[in-house]
Amino acid sequence: MLWKTPPKLDLLNASGQNTLVDHLGITFTEAGDDYMVATMPVDRRTVQPVRLLHGGAAVVLAETMGSVASVWCLENRTTHSAVGVEINANHLNSVPEGGIVTGTVRPLKVGRSMHVWEIKIERQDGKLVCVSRITIAVVARR
Protein backbone atom coordinates (compact mmCIF):
# COMPACT_ATOMS: atom_id res chain seq x y z
CA MET A 1 0.00 0.00 0.00
CA LEU A 2 1.20 3.49 -0.91
CA TRP A 3 -0.29 5.32 2.06
CA LYS A 4 1.57 5.57 5.40
CA THR A 5 -1.79 5.12 7.14
CA PRO A 6 -4.91 3.88 5.34
CA PRO A 7 -6.99 6.92 4.29
CA LYS A 8 -10.44 7.16 5.82
CA LEU A 9 -13.11 8.92 3.77
CA ASP A 10 -14.57 10.76 6.76
CA LEU A 11 -11.14 12.26 7.56
CA LEU A 12 -10.44 13.07 3.90
CA ASN A 13 -13.71 14.97 3.67
CA ALA A 14 -13.47 16.61 7.09
CA SER A 15 -10.12 18.17 6.20
CA GLY A 16 -11.81 20.28 3.52
CA GLN A 17 -14.54 21.75 5.70
CA ASN A 18 -14.80 25.55 5.62
CA THR A 19 -12.37 25.79 2.69
CA LEU A 20 -12.61 26.20 -1.08
CA VAL A 21 -12.91 22.40 -1.26
CA ASP A 22 -16.13 22.55 0.77
CA HIS A 23 -17.42 25.58 -1.15
CA LEU A 24 -17.05 23.78 -4.50
CA GLY A 25 -18.67 20.58 -3.22
CA ILE A 26 -15.62 18.35 -3.67
CA THR A 27 -16.16 14.99 -1.96
CA PHE A 28 -13.74 12.08 -1.67
CA THR A 29 -15.62 8.88 -2.46
CA GLU A 30 -12.99 6.13 -2.60
CA ALA A 31 -9.44 5.35 -1.52
CA GLY A 32 -7.66 2.29 -2.88
CA ASP A 33 -4.16 0.95 -2.29
CA ASP A 34 -2.58 3.56 -4.60
CA TYR A 35 -5.34 5.91 -5.73
CA MET A 36 -8.11 8.20 -4.50
CA VAL A 37 -11.36 9.24 -6.17
CA ALA A 38 -13.30 12.46 -5.62
CA THR A 39 -16.32 14.09 -7.25
CA MET A 40 -17.35 17.69 -7.88
CA PRO A 41 -20.70 18.98 -9.11
CA VAL A 42 -20.88 21.10 -12.22
CA ASP A 43 -23.18 23.81 -10.89
CA ARG A 44 -23.35 27.59 -10.32
CA ARG A 45 -20.15 27.39 -8.21
CA THR A 46 -18.03 25.63 -10.83
CA VAL A 47 -19.22 26.86 -14.24
CA GLN A 48 -18.05 29.68 -16.48
CA PRO A 49 -20.57 32.23 -17.86
CA VAL A 50 -21.55 29.94 -20.79
CA ARG A 51 -22.59 27.32 -18.18
CA LEU A 52 -19.77 24.83 -18.86
CA LEU A 53 -17.30 23.52 -16.27
CA HIS A 54 -14.73 26.24 -15.58
CA GLY A 55 -11.18 25.07 -16.26
CA GLY A 56 -10.05 26.68 -13.00
CA ALA A 57 -12.55 24.57 -11.06
CA ALA A 58 -11.11 21.44 -12.66
CA VAL A 59 -7.64 22.58 -11.59
CA VAL A 60 -8.88 23.12 -8.02
CA LEU A 61 -10.17 19.54 -8.02
CA ALA A 62 -6.84 18.27 -9.36
CA GLU A 63 -4.75 20.28 -6.88
CA THR A 64 -6.95 19.21 -3.99
CA MET A 65 -6.58 15.56 -4.91
CA GLY A 66 -2.81 15.69 -5.39
CA SER A 67 -2.25 17.64 -2.19
CA VAL A 68 -4.45 15.38 -0.10
CA ALA A 69 -2.83 12.26 -1.56
CA SER A 70 0.61 13.62 -0.64
CA VAL A 71 -0.45 14.27 2.94
CA TRP A 72 -1.36 10.59 3.32
CA CYS A 73 2.13 9.65 2.07
CA LEU A 74 4.02 11.72 4.64
CA GLU A 75 6.14 9.81 7.15
CA ASN A 76 5.20 12.26 9.90
CA ARG A 77 2.42 14.81 9.42
CA THR A 78 3.39 16.69 12.58
CA THR A 79 6.90 17.51 11.33
CA HIS A 80 6.35 17.79 7.55
CA SER A 81 3.87 19.36 5.13
CA ALA A 82 3.00 18.79 1.50
CA VAL A 83 3.16 21.98 -0.59
CA GLY A 84 2.17 22.29 -4.24
CA VAL A 85 4.89 23.84 -6.41
CA GLU A 86 3.63 23.29 -9.97
CA ILE A 87 0.46 22.15 -11.67
CA ASN A 88 -0.57 21.83 -15.28
CA ALA A 89 -3.82 20.83 -16.89
CA ASN A 90 -5.00 19.88 -20.35
CA HIS A 91 -8.72 20.50 -20.81
CA LEU A 92 -9.94 17.95 -23.34
CA ASN A 93 -13.75 18.02 -23.30
CA SER A 94 -16.47 20.23 -21.91
CA VAL A 95 -19.05 19.41 -19.24
CA PRO A 96 -22.41 21.20 -19.19
CA GLU A 97 -23.96 22.50 -16.00
CA GLY A 98 -25.93 19.85 -14.13
CA GLY A 99 -23.37 17.09 -14.33
CA ILE A 100 -20.79 15.70 -11.97
CA VAL A 101 -17.11 15.16 -12.67
CA THR A 102 -15.01 12.45 -11.07
CA GLY A 103 -11.27 12.70 -10.53
CA THR A 104 -8.83 9.88 -9.91
CA VAL A 105 -5.36 10.62 -8.55
CA ARG A 106 -2.47 8.18 -8.94
CA PRO A 107 1.23 8.57 -8.17
CA LEU A 108 3.92 9.03 -10.78
CA LYS A 109 6.65 9.42 -8.13
CA VAL A 110 6.52 9.43 -4.34
CA GLY A 111 9.94 10.29 -2.95
CA ARG A 112 11.18 11.68 0.35
CA SER A 113 11.18 15.31 -0.78
CA MET A 114 9.05 15.35 -3.94
CA HIS A 115 5.79 13.77 -5.07
CA VAL A 116 4.36 13.88 -8.60
CA TRP A 117 0.72 12.94 -9.18
CA GLU A 118 -1.46 12.46 -12.25
CA ILE A 119 -5.13 13.35 -11.98
CA LYS A 120 -7.65 12.27 -14.60
CA ILE A 121 -11.04 13.96 -14.48
CA GLU A 122 -13.98 12.37 -16.31
CA ARG A 123 -17.58 13.29 -16.85
CA GLN A 124 -20.45 10.92 -16.07
CA ASP A 125 -20.34 9.20 -19.47
CA GLY A 126 -16.67 8.31 -18.88
CA LYS A 127 -15.30 10.83 -21.39
CA LEU A 128 -12.02 12.38 -20.28
CA VAL A 129 -12.44 16.06 -19.37
CA CYS A 130 -9.04 17.03 -17.99
CA VAL A 131 -5.63 15.49 -17.40
CA SER A 132 -3.48 17.22 -14.81
CA ARG A 133 -0.10 16.69 -13.22
CA ILE A 134 0.98 18.27 -9.93
CA THR A 135 4.37 18.40 -8.26
CA ILE A 136 4.39 18.54 -4.46
CA ALA A 137 7.36 19.44 -2.28
CA VAL A 138 7.65 17.74 1.11
CA VAL A 139 8.94 20.40 3.51
CA ALA A 140 9.70 20.55 7.23
CA ARG A 141 7.18 22.52 9.28
CA ARG A 142 8.51 25.60 11.01
DSSP 52-105: BB-HHHHHHHHHHHHHHHHHTT-S-TTTEEEEEEEEEEEE-S--BTT-EEEEEE
Cα–Cα distance measured from residue 128 to residue 123, given in angstroms and rounded to the nearest whole number:
7
CB within 8 A of 41, min separation 6: which ones?
25, 99, 100
Q: What is the pLDDT of residue 89?
A: 98
Q: What is the pLDDT of residue 83?
A: 95
Distances (CA, A) of 109 to 71, 97, 117, 120: 14, 34, 7, 16
Q: What is the pLDDT of residue 142?
A: 82
Q: What is the pLDDT of residue 5?
A: 85
Catalytic residue ranges: 63
Q: What is the pLDDT of residue 1?
A: 85
pTM above 0.75, yes or no: yes
pLDDT tens for each residue of the chain, 142 residues long: 899 988 999 999 999 999 999 999 999 999 999 999 999 999 999 999 999 999 999 999 999 999 999 999 999 999 999 999 999 999 999 999 999 999 999 999 999 999 999 999 999 999 999 999 999 999 999 8
